[in-house]
Amino acid sequence: MEPFVRLTGVAAPILTGNVNTDVLVRVEAMINVPKGKLGPYCFEVWRYLPDRSDNPDFILNQPAYRNAKILLAGVNFGCGSSREPAVWALWDMGFRCVIAPSFGDIFFNNCFQSGMLPIVLPADVIVSLAEDAKAFGDVAPDFTVDLERQVIIAPSGRQTPFKVDELKRHALLEGLDDIGVTLAIAQRITDFQTADRNARPWVYNV
Amino acid sequence: MGASSLFEKIWSSHVINELGDGFALLHVDRHILHDLNAMKSLVELRERGYAVRNPELTIATPDHGVSSLPGRDINTNAAGTALLRGYLEETKRAGIRAFDVNEDGQGIVHVIGPELGLTQPGHLIVCGDSHTCTHGGLAALGFGMGRSEVIHVLATQTIYQKKPKQMRINFEGVAGHGVTPKDLILYLIGQIGADGGNGHAVEYAGSAIRAMPVEGRLTICNLSIEFGAKVGMIGPDDVAYQYLAGRQMSPKGADWDRALAYWKSLTTDDGASFDHEVSIDVAKVAPQITWGTSPQQVISVEDAIPDPSSGANAADTTAMREALDYMGLTPGRPIAGTAIDAVFIGSCTNSRLSDLREAAAVARGRKVKEGVQAWVVPGSQQVKQAAEAEGLHGVFRQAGFEWREPGCSMCLAANGDLLARGQRAVSTTNRNFEGRQGPGVRTHLASPAMAAAAAVSGAIVDVRKMMV
C-alpha cells in the first residue's frame, strides 16, 4: 500500500448527503474494469449525460476541480454496498483524501486498506472548508492535509486539526500490509483455534 | 463481570488480540465467498504468496453474476462468464466447497447460509457483501467487508475491527393485517434516517420480534446496513433453535446438545447497557413504499408524495428535490395510483419461501396488468424446490409472472437482468439508489405483498385493499 504522509492539492466540495457506493462506481464497471482504470467510471451516474457526454453542471467536470485530490463530502458518505472498487474509483480519479461528517462503516474501513485517508469533521467545519475551496475562474486553491501532524491547512493558512485512530494512522503513514502484520502472530491464531475447538467443537466439525 | 449484551458476548469470545482504542483482531468462524469477489480475491491472494488458511471454514456460492433466465448456465450472461468460470476454478484449487450454478444448495449468500444451517447463533460470519448483517437474524455476528479484508480473512481466518457502539431497537405490539417485517424495517429507516445506525451494532428486540418467524427476522436484519448499521442481530430463542434443528450443516448429536447450551447463554442480560435505544409501536405502521433514491425516503402507501420544502434543512430539501426529479414524481400527489412498468420479487431481503407465499396469496386468481413485466426470482435452489412443491410457481405463472432461477438478479443488475432507462419498478429489494436496477431506472422498495399487488394493479396500491 502507498503510504500517506502529507498531501497538497485542490479540494472539491460535493456536500450532498448519503452518497452511496453505486454512485461512486456502478457494478458493471466493477466487474469489467481493472483497478487502476476506474477513474472514468467514478460518479458515473452524475458526471455524464445520457448520451455519455460530460454533464457540465457536475462539479468535477469543471476545469478548476478536474484535478482535485481532496473531496469535501456530506453525511454518510460511501453508504451502501461493501465494494472496495468505490475507493479505487475515487483513487483512480485522483482523490487521496475524503473529508465528511460521517462515513458508511464499510467504505471507511476500505479507505484505509487502499491508502485513502478518510477524515471525520463536523458538518459546519466542512462547510467552512468548502468556502475556502471556492474557485476563481478556472483555478481552485490548494489545501494541505498533513497526517503526521493531523492538521488541514487551508489556502488562507488557517489550520483545522483532525484525529485518526492511532492504529490506522500508523498503518497509513507506513503503508503497512495488514496480512504481513497478522501472520507475524500466526501462532496466536493457532492457539486460539486450538482452545476454541475444545470450547465450541461444532464450529470446527465440518 | 457486569450485564452483557448478545453482541458483547459474541465479540469478546472472538478476540484473539486487543490492539487498543477498541480495535481487536477477531476470529472468523465462517467466511462466505460469492462469484463477484471469489476469483479476484483468490488470485490476488496467490499472487501475493499467501494460501487460504482454513478452506474448511469457507464456503462459496454464485449469485451476483448469474443470470436468472430459465435454462441458464455460466454463458447466459456473457459479461459474467469469465467471472463464473474463474469462481469455479479458483475455489476448487483452494479446496473451498463451492456450489455450481445450478447445483442443489446454490443461491444468494444470505439465503443459503441460514437454510443450510451454516449460520448459527454465536458465529462470527463475514462476507464481501454489505448485507451479511442478515445472518444476525439467527443471532450470528455477521458483517460485510471490502476486497482487501476478504483477502486478509482468506489468509489468516481473522479480521481487524473497531468495536462499534450499541443500539437496541424494540419493535413492540402486533402489526396490522398486510403489514410485514419489510414494512417494519422500512418504517424504522424512515424514522431514524439512512445514517441513524452508523457506527453501531444493532440488536432488535421486543414482542413483535419474539413473535416473528426466522425468515422475517432475516429480512429485518438484512436492512440494518440501509440505516448504516453494519451489524444487526436478534437474540436466540426457541424459534431459532427449532429452525436450525436438523439442517444440513447444523450441529448433530452431542454437538447439538453442547451448542444449544452455549447458544442459550448468549442472550442479552437484563441490565445490559446500550448507547442508544429506540422503540417502535408496530400497530401504527402501515404498508411502506419508498418514493426517492435513499431507503430513508419512505412513506406509508396511504400518504402523499412529500414536498421538498418539508425537508429538515437546505441540504435535505435539495436532496429531496433531486430525488423527486430522478423518480419523476410530483409532490403532494398520493403515491398510490402511480403507474409502474415492472415488478421484481426476489433478493437477499425478500426471496424466501414465506415471502413467495405472501406474494402468491395476492397473485392467486389475479392477472399481472398488461404491459407490466413481473418477475419472481427465488433466493435459492431450496426455496425454488419448496415453492414448486406447494405449487407457488403455478400460481405465479398463471397470473402472468415469470418464474426464474435463483440469484441476486435485478436487485443489483450485475447479471444481465435489468430494466430500461426511465422504467419504474416496485421491488422487494434493499436499495432504491440511482441506477441500481439499470441506468436511469426508478425503484420503489416494498414488501412482497405490496409488490404483487402493484403487478396486478399496474400501479402502486395499498395491498390491504386487495386482501380479504
What is the ipTM, given to two decimal places?
0.97
The pLDDT tens digits along chain A (206 residues) read 899 999 999 999 999 999 999 999 999 998 889 999 999 999 999 999 989 999 999 999 999 999 999 999 999 999 999 999 999 999 999 999 999 999 999 999 999 999 999 999 999 999 999 999 999 999 999 999 999 999 999 999 999 999 999 999 999 999 998 999 999 999 999 999 999 999 999 999 88
Is the residue at B343 inside a domain? yes
* Min distance B102 CA to chain A CA atoms (Å): 21
pLDDT tens digits, B108-152: 999 999 999 999 999 999 999 999 999 999 999 999 999 999 999
* Min distance B171 CA to chain A CA atoms (Å): 24
Residues A107 and A85 in one domain: yes
Task: Work out the pLDDT band at B312, boundaries 50, 70, 90.
Answer: confident
In chain A, what residues touch B249 (CB-CB under 8 Å)? Answer: 206
pLDDT tens digits, B4-25: 999 999 999 999 999 999 999 9
Distance CA B392, CA B38 (A): 33
Rounded average pLDDT over B245-273: 98
> Would you tell me which residues 204-233 of chain B have a C-beta closer than 8 angstroms to some C-beta of chain A?
225, 228, 230
pLDDT tens digits, B190-206: 999 999 999 999 999 99
In chain A, what residues touch B66 (CB-CB under 8 Å)? Answer: none
Q: What percent of chain B has pLDDT over 70?
A: 100
Determine the residue of chain A that is closest to B121 in CA distance.
Answer: A203
Determine the residue of chain A that is closest to B417 in CA distance.
Answer: A28
Rounded average pLDDT over B65-94: 96
Task: Write down the pLDDT at residue A206.
Answer: 86
Residues B146 and B169 in one domain: no
Question: Is A84's CB within 8 Å of B440's CB?
Answer: no
Instruction: Assign residue B279 the CATH number of its domain.
Output: 3.40.1060.10
Task: Write down the pLDDT at residue B59.
Answer: 98
Beta carbons of A74 and A20 less than 8 angstroms apart: no
Task: Write down the pLDDT at residue A50.
Answer: 87
Question: Is A31's CB within 8 Å of B433's CB?
Answer: no
pLDDT tens digits, B373-408: 999 999 999 999 999 999 999 999 999 999 999 999
Does B34 reach chain A within 8 Å, measured CB to CB?
Answer: no
Is the residue at B1 inside a domain? no
Determine the residue of chain B that is closest to A103 in CA distance.
Answer: B198
Task: Write down the pLDDT at residue B468.
Answer: 67
Secondary structure of chain B in HEC code, one letter for each residue: CCCCCHHHHHHHHCEEEEEECCEEEEECCEEEEECCCHHHHHHHHHHCCCCCCCHHHEEEECCCCCCCCCCCCCCCCHHHHHHHHHHHHHHHHHCCEECCCCCCCCECHHHHHHHHCCCCCCCEEEECCHHHHHHHHHCCEEEECCHHHHHHHHHHCEEEEECCEEEEEEEECCCCCCCCHHHHHHHHHHHHCCCCCCCEEEEEECHHHHCCCHHHHHHHHHHHHHHCCCEEEECCCHHHHHHHCCCCCCCCHHHHHHHHHHHHCCCCCCCCCCCEEEEEEHHHCCCEEECCCCCCCEEECCCECCCHHHCCCHHHHHHHHHHHHHHCCCCCCECCCCECCEEEECCCCCCCHHHHHHHHHHHCCCCCCCCCEEEECCCEHHHHHHHHHCCHHHHHHHHCCEECCCCCHHHCCCCCCCCCCCCEEEECCCCCCCCCCCCCCEEEECCHHHHHHHHHHCECCCHHHHCC
* Min distance B174 CA to chain A CA atoms (Å): 30
Distance CA A46, CA A79 (A): 17
Partner-chain residue, chosen from B130, B158, B319, that has the shortest CB–CB distance to A82: B130
Residues B173 and B209 in one domain: yes
Beta carbons of A157 and A150 less than 8 angstroms apart: no
Residues B76 and B124 in one domain: yes
Residue B283 has pLDDT above 90, yes or no: yes
- Tell whether the torsion through CA atoms of B202, B203, B208 and B210 is positive or negative: positive
Instruction: Assign residue B241 the CATH number of its domain.
Output: 3.30.499.10
Determine the residue of chain A that is closest to B64 in CA distance.
Answer: A27
Residue B321 has pLDDT above 80, yes or no: yes
Rounded average pLDDT over B91-97: 98
Question: Is B434's CB within 8 Å of A202's CB?
Answer: no
In chain A, what residues touch B27 (CB-CB under 8 Å)? Answer: 189, 192-193, 196
**Residue A45 CB burial class (10 angstroms; 0-12, 13-18, ≥19):** buried
Residues B118 and B220 in one domain: no
Determine the residue of chain A that is closest to B158 in CA distance.
Answer: A189
Residues A77 and A164 in one domain: yes
Task: Work out the pLDDT band at B102, boundaries 50, 70, 90.
Answer: very high
Beta carbons of B159 and A106 less than 8 angstroms apart: no
Beta carbons of B209 and B233 less than 8 angstroms apart: no
Partner-chain residue, chosen from A76, A107, A189, that has the shortest CB–CB distance to B157: A189
pLDDT tens digits, A133-174: 999 999 999 999 999 999 999 999 999 999 999 999 999 999
Instruction: Assign residue A78 the CATH number of its domain.
Output: 3.20.19.10
The three grid cell numbers given for residue B356, joined into one nine-digit string: 413467495
Residues B39 and B153 in one domain: yes
Residues B227 and B249 in one domain: no
Question: Is A28's CB within 8 Å of B319's CB?
Answer: no
Residue B298 has pLDDT above 80, yes or no: yes
Partner-chain residue, chosen from B17, B23, B65, that has the shortest CB–CB distance to A185: B17
Partner-chain residue, chosen from B16, B57, B143, that has the shortest CB–CB distance to A188: B16
Task: Write down the pLDDT at residue B1.
Answer: 59
Q: How many domains does chain A have?
A: 2
Top-confidence residue, A167 or B468: A167
